[in-house]
């Protein structure tokens, strides 16, 4: 039985779901000849670690306890029964990494949403251990950090950073390794903005569509977190860097669907929803009408092409895969030598803890050949 | 530099294109720290093999010669300058397999369309070597052969057996390994039949659409080779077996688009084209009209669901991904726990030597961690 030792950073949302998947897949993975050995689980202020990190594990009873505490909104410290500083958590993780990097190997799985994990992950790479990410922030940090993380390209997986479990990164890596040059990527990578843009086509005003999306729970509590485009921009940057573009988040052209004078620090959310949003209706309606007269529709997409990497509204043919997209699915069109006139299209749910955690789990299983 | 030693079986069409890709990707792969070391190339009556199989290779000049001969329609024997019997080719390959299985490892790549390779491939597995397939026949042979081939599941890849380079198998393997149960697969896996079914929607008679498809080169020389559904059935069986169905080709329900009394052994091709085909128009037109009255369209698909695995015409909602499909793209809908109401969809060109060979090459790169 092959054992994959792993440490999980971040055990809310996706991380908790991952632990549940790991426990419920025990017999499936045993049939595949693999066991995921959870050596440690941490959040920002606590760490649970196996007493014997070389051979032992946090057992399924312990993992289930973590899941239960986290689903009740409690901190990991309530399970571990002692709180730690971030620095203490980091030191302890690095201690385990240095031990296992020299023996059985280790996968460090980042399911947090923190920008503070890049430092640990860089050290993980230095020790020759593997990195699996659902967290977009380490991959969208400076190019120096990025280059370090991908310096052992077989030892990093990050499918769930773009389109949740959709096999977007896997597909691109296959295309790249087979020497098929990617000319163009266009993708709707926000379920929220996908829903908004396709609803606009039915003639409803922008303010109304956003308000309904918020009431359906499709948006963040403050919809400006979606409308600003930063989440899509991080995904675009990850894809662009995968294709070899030397870009940073600062250098991306990102279109926000609200103007700076309506930004959260200036306009309270209630004011934005009641008075701000309706002011945006006419302009968007105008753009829709113009696009429609040319047989096009508007989509909020990432567009990567030659030296271009943009995030914002694009006019796209009504009859293209993106033009036909309805609802909250993500959709990516990839154009290359092999997929020239008609793109390779990947479409499906691009969010949700279950799907995102399933993508992380598939990544972990996919690096099994690197373990003894 | 990691070296992946490989033997290629079948060097027409896809195999020849693979050799060209390997040669033209040399610097790309060097950057990735990998070199594909071609130890041998064979067709059914000749074999070219490196003089030192442990360390040497057939160099790029040799590979280019093979490509040139094959593209001129010549046999490999014209390059190797001596013809061999099939038995001699087999013995020599097994000799190399046994040598390399115990030292550097080896990938045996089957790009033939032969049903005769299953025996060699079974022995390749016994020696612990890897198998990469574009050839569907070994995977659609008896369950005994199938079980042997997949007995070391990390050591076999066969992306290009379904949908050419489309990441269909990769996506399914990810879903399976993450414990997300697949409920249903529906797919249009024949570019020819996809084109035919979507053209029928425009009101053209079946006989006319098939004749045009033939004149455009979309069909086999005898269109009955497409219309019979056997090629789709093989792909369906490969997908069904991947999901754990214990099926054989004989046990599949396969709908042929022409009746037995028009089979090639009874009706000459000219007779079929001129007199046979038009007799089929009314019936298909009738089915289209009936489907249309319910908001559905007809698609020739594989359908895998619970214990069902069928190949033939299905009525599907006009607004589903398959219902919206036009032209010759392949399209697969996968329904699972994570992709429940809306499926995971993969769409794109599902044929062509370039795309198929690119899929094989990506498979070879994907097993690199199994080599020292």
Q: Are residues A293 and A149 in the same domain?
A: no
Rounded-to-integer distance, Cα B231 and Cα B236, Å: 9
Q: Are residues A250 and A362 in the same domain?
A: no
With cut-offs at 50, 70 and 90, classify the pLDDT of residue B80: confident
Q: Which ipTM was obtained for this model?
A: 0.96
User: What pLDDT does residue B212 have?
Assistant: 95
Q: Which residues have C-beta within 8 Å of that of residue A121, sequence separation ≥ 6?
A: A108, A110, A131, A133, A138, A149
pLDDT at A81 over 80: no
Please indicate, yes or no, if residue A238 is contained in any of the structural domains: yes
**Measured distance between the N- and C-terminal CA atoms of chain A, rounded to whole angstroms:** 10
Rounded-to-integer distance, Cα B101 and Cα B11, Å: 23
Q: What are the tens digits of pLDDT across the range A277-323?
A: 999 999 999 999 999 999 999 999 999 998 899 999 999 999 999 99
With cut-offs at 50, 70 and 90, classify the pLDDT of residue A82: confident
Q: Count how many domains chain B has.
A: 2
The answer to whether A10 is annotated as binding is: yes
Subunit contact A154:B359, Cβ cutoff 8 A: no
User: What pLDDT does residue A312 have?
Assistant: 98
**Measured distance between the N- and C-terminal CA atoms of chain B, rounded to whole angstroms:** 10
Q: How many CA atoms lie within 13 A of A238 on its CB side?
A: 28
Rounded-to-integer distance, Cα B22 and Cα B337, Å: 39
Subunit contact B366:A177, Cβ cutoff 8 A: yes
- Using CA of residue A191, residue A192, residue A197, residue A198, what is the dihedral sign? positive
With cut-offs at 50, 70 and 90, classify the pLDDT of residue B23: very high
Q: Are residues A94 and A156 in the same domain?
A: yes
Determine contact, residues A166/A346, Cβ cutoff 8 Å. yes
Determine contact, residues A63/A28, Cβ cutoff 8 Å. no
Mean pLDDT of A173-184: 97
User: What pLDDT does residue B21 have?
Assistant: 98
Please indicate, yes or no, if residue A111 is contained in any of the structural domains: yes
Determine contact, residues B158/B139, Cβ cutoff 8 Å. yes
With cut-offs at 50, 70 and 90, classify the pLDDT of residue B278: very high
Task: Sort out which chain A residues have CB atoms less than 8 A from B359's CB and list them.
Answer: 174, 178
Task: Sort out which chain B residues have CB atoms less than 8 A from A166's CB and list them.
Answer: 344
Largest CA distance in chain B: 68
User: What pLDDT does residue A83 have?
Assistant: 84
Q: Are residues A81 and A214 in the same domain?
A: no
Q: What are the tens digits of pLDDT across the range B327-362?
A: 999 999 999 999 999 999 999 999 999 999 999 999
Rounded-to-integer distance, Cα B43 and Cα B239, Å: 28
Name the residue among B32, B174, B339 with its Cβ closest to that of A349.
Answer: B339
Chain A residue whose CA is closest to B152: A32
Mean pLDDT of B124-133: 97
Determine contact, residues A313/A287, Cβ cutoff 8 Å. yes
Q: Are residues B86 and B203 in the same domain?
A: no
CATH number reported for the structural domain that contains residue B86 in this entry: 3.40.50.720
User: What pLDDT does residue A92 have?
Assistant: 95
Q: Which residues of B165-178 are buried (b: 16+ CB within 10 A; e: fewer)?
A: bbbbbbbbbbbbbb
> Exposed, middle or buried: residue A204 (CB in 10 Å: 0-12, 13-18, 19+)?
middle
Q: Are residues A272 and A358 in the same domain?
A: no
Q: What are the tens digits of pLDDT across the range A345-359?
A: 999 999 999 999 999
> Exposed, middle or buried: residue A282 (CB in 10 Å: 0-12, 13-18, 19+)?
exposed
Pairing of β A182-188 and β A34-43: unpaired
User: What pLDDT does residue A51 have?
Assistant: 93
Mean pLDDT of B82-110: 93
pLDDT at B81 over 90: no
Please indicate, yes or no, if residue A175 is contained in any of the structural domains: no
* Average pLDDT score, chain A: 96
Q: Are residues A201 and A336 in the same domain?
A: yes
Rounded-to-integer distance, Cα B274 and Cα B294, Å: 33
Residue among B176, B182, B335, B338 with most chain A CBs within 10 A, to mutate: B338
Chain A residue whose CA is closest to B346: A346
User: What pLDDT does residue B82 have?
Assistant: 79
* Average pLDDT score, chain B: 96
Please indicate, yes or no, if residue B57 is contained in any of the structural domains: yes
Q: Packing angle between helix B206-215 and helix B281-293, nearest 10 degrees?
A: 110
The answer to whether A191 is annotated as binding is: no
Q: What are the tens digits of pLDDT across the range A11-70?
A: 999 999 999 999 999 999 999 999 999 999 999 889 999 999 999 999 999 999 999 999
SS3 content of chain A, % helix, strand, coil (to 5): 45, 20, 35
Rounded-to-integer distance, Cα B71 and Cα B353, Å: 12
pLDDT at B305 over 90: yes
Rg (CA), chain B: 22
> Exposed, middle or buried: residue A85 (CB in 10 Å: 0-12, 13-18, 19+)?
exposed
Q: What are the tens digits of pLDDT across the range B215-250?
A: 999 999 999 999 999 999 999 999 999 999 999 999
Please indicate, yes or no, if residue A326 is contained in any of the structural domains: yes
Q: Are residues B140 and B186 in the same domain?
A: no
Q: Are residues B225 and B121 in the same domain?
A: no
- Which residues of A carry out catalysis? 235
CATH number reported for the structural domain that contains residue B248 in this entry: 3.30.360.10
Query: What pTM was estimated for this model as a whole?
Result: 0.97
Q: Are residues B97 and B113 in the same domain?
A: yes
Structural domain boundaries, residue B14: 2-165+354-370
| Nearest CA among B28, B36, B85, B40 for reference residue B66 | B40
> Exposed, middle or buried: residue B356 (CB in 10 Å: 0-12, 13-18, 19+)?
buried
User: What pLDDT does residue A307 have?
Assistant: 86
User: What pLDDT does residue A121 have?
Assistant: 98
At B99 the three-state DSSP class reads helix
Please indicate, yes or no, if residue A100 is contained in any of the structural domains: yes
Helices (H), B25-178: 26-31, 60-71, 77-80, 86-101, 118-126, 143-149, 168-177
Q: Are residues A115 and A203 in the same domain?
A: no
Please indicate, yes or no, if residue A52 is contained in any of the structural domains: yes
Q: Are residues A133 and A215 in the same domain?
A: no
Q: How far is CA B100 from CA B157, B353, B364, B372, in A?
A: 19, 29, 16, 12
User: What pLDDT does residue B102 have?
Assistant: 83
Mean pLDDT of A106-112: 98
pLDDT at B174 over 80: yes
Determine contact, residues B49/B40, Cβ cutoff 8 Å. yes
Please indicate, yes or no, if residue B173 is contained in any of the structural domains: no
Mean pLDDT of B59-87: 91
- Which residues of B carry out catalysis? 235
Rounded-to-integer distance, Cα B285 and Cα B206, Å: 8
Q: Which residues have C-beta within 8 Å of that of residue A270, sequence separation ≥ 6?
A: none
**Residue A171 at interface with chain B, using a CB cutoff of 8 Å:** yes
**Residue A323 at interface with chain B, using a CB cutoff of 8 Å:** no
């Amino acid at each position: 039985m092959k054992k994959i030792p792993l440490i999980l950073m971040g055990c809310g949302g996706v991380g908790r779901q991952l632990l549940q998947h790991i426990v419920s897949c025990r017999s499936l993975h045993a049939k595949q000849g693999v066991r995921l050995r959870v050596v440690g689980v941490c959040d920002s202020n606590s760490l649970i670690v196996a007493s014997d990190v070389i051979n032992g594990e946090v057992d399924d009873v312990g993992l289930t306890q973590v899941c239960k505490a986290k689903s009740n909104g409690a901190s990991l410290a309530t399970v571990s029964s002692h709180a730690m500083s971030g620095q203490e958590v980091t030191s302890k993780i690095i201690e385990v990494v240095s031990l296992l990097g020299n023996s059985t190997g280790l996968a460090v799985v980042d399911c947090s949403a923190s920008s503070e994990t890049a430092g640990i992950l860089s050290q993980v790479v230095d020790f020759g251990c593997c990195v699996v990410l659902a967290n977009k922030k380490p991959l969208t940090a400076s190019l120096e950090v990025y280059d370090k993380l991908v310096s052992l390209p077989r030892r990093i997986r990050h499918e769930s950073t773009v389109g949740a479990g959709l096999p977007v990164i896997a597909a691109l890596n296959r295309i790249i390794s087979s020497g098929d040059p990617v000319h163009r990527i266009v993708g709707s990578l926000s379920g929220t903005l996908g829903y908004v843009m396709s609803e606009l086509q039915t003639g409803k005003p922008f303010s109304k569509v956003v308000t309904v999306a918020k009431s359906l729970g499709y948006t963040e509590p403050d919809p400006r977190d979606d409308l600003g485009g930063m989440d899509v921009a991080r995904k675009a940057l990850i894809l662009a860097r995968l294709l070899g573009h030397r870009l940073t988040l600062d250098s991306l052209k990102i279109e926000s669907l609200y103007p700076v004078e309506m930004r959260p620090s200036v306009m309270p959310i209630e004011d934005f929803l009641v008075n701000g949003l309706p002011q945006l209706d006419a302009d968007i309606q105008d753009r829709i009408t113009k696009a429609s007269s040319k047989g096009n529709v508007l989509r909020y997409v990432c567009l990567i092409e030659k030296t271009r990497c943009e995030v914002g509204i694009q006019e796209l043919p009504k009859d293209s895969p993106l033009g036909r997209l309805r609802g909250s699915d993500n959709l990516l069109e990839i154009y290359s030598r092999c997929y020239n006139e008609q793109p390779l299209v990947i479409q499906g749910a691009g969010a949700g803890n279950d799907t995102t955690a399933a993508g992380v789990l598939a990544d972990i299983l996919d690096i099994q050949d690197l373990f003894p």
